[in-house]
Amino acid sequence: DAEIVLSPPSKTYGHLNAETVTDVHHWTDRLFSFKTTRDPSLRFANGQFAMMGLEVGGKPLLRAYSIASANYEDHIEFLSIKVEDGPLTSRLAHVRPGDIVLVGRKPTGTLLLDNLRPGRTLYMLATGTGLAPFMSLIRDPDVYERFEHVILTHTVRQVDELAYGDYIRHELPEHEFLGEFLRGKLRYYPTVTREEFETKGRITDLIESGKLFTDLGLPALDPEHDRVMICGSTAMLTDTENLLVKRGFDEGNANRPGAYVVEKAFAER
Ligand code: A2P
């Protein structure tokens, strides 16, 4: 397994940049992240996704991946699950520094600050790899200029799947440039559903019961003042959207900003 070596692409592709992997981190045996070089021509807004993958059988094999790094950084970063028989992720999980991945030149997506009306509190609700776009957004100073409170929730099955947890808690507040923006504004609220943890349960249940707001010392969701970004599995998106719509939240998009925006988290099944 450890001996699988990824070969470089056989040719160049007009719509794809060939980027070199510079750093790989395995959070669990099913969850990993990696950094690559960034073609200076790549432009994206924080929260967007790009097509990304490998050349397999002489053709690009790509999936939609949220970019986890911020758009002012000189690298790009991705967070991925590894699916045993997943055509892409079973291979991608073997990337090592020096390997080449293909990255689409036209990132897109709806998890954008501009798709939300101004508000007081911004909730970012993530499950699993749905954390990725928020790793980009929480490193965007604009987020802290626009909102008084920024709440990032991450729900996973097991504690060790709380990727970037230590970074968010300990490193980010000390960040020489971002620290002053986010200190006292960014609150991280991790929850775990299948193991003991300080905060247990699905975010939907924690919203319904009101425990999320009691824990944070914030008022219950209010479409007038609160804005919500959601990224998770299809089931999580449906349940969370229902809960928001019931409370009077309207969905935003590029033509008409709203009270919430949604994006499906990366999945390969
Ligand atoms: P649970 O353990 O109760 O299924 P997954 O790995 O399946 O994408 O799940 C990631 C996290 O999202 C898990 O903690 C899971 O909780 C939670 N989750 C799954 N489906 C939903 C849903 N419909 N609403 C809220 N949370 C969900």
pLDDT digit string, tens, across residues 101-110: 999 999 999 9
**Beta strands 100-104 and 16-28: pairing type?**
antiparallel
Is this prediction's pTM over 0.95? yes
- Start-to-end Cα distance in the chain: 20
pLDDT at 268: 85
Closest Cα to atom 20 of ligand 1: 236
Which of 155, 200, 230 should be mutated for ligand 1, with most atoms under 8 A from CB?
155
**Beta strands 186-192 and 100-104: pairing type?**
unpaired
Residue ranges covered by each domain of the chain: 16-104, 113-264
Kindly state the average pLDDT of the residues 232-255.
97
Measured at the CA of 117, the angle between CA 114 and CA 123, to 5 degrees, comes to 90
Element (H, E) at 212: helix 211-216
Cα of 158 from ligand 1 centre, angstroms? 11
Domain 16-104 grouped into CATH 2.40.30.10: yes
Percent of the chain with pLDDT over 90: 96
SS3 state of residue 167: helix
204 lines ligand 1 (CB under 6 A): yes
Residue 269 — very low, low, confident or very high, per pLDDT cuts 50/70/90?
Answer: confident
Show Cβ contacts of residue 16 under 8 Å, excluding neighbours closer than 6 positions: 51, 60, 62, 102, 103, 104, 105
pLDDT at 241: 98
> Of the CATH numbers 3.40.50.2300, 3.40.50.2000, 1.25.40.10, 3.40.50.80, which one belongs to the domain with range 113-264?
3.40.50.80
Kindly state the average pLDDT of the residues 141-170.
97
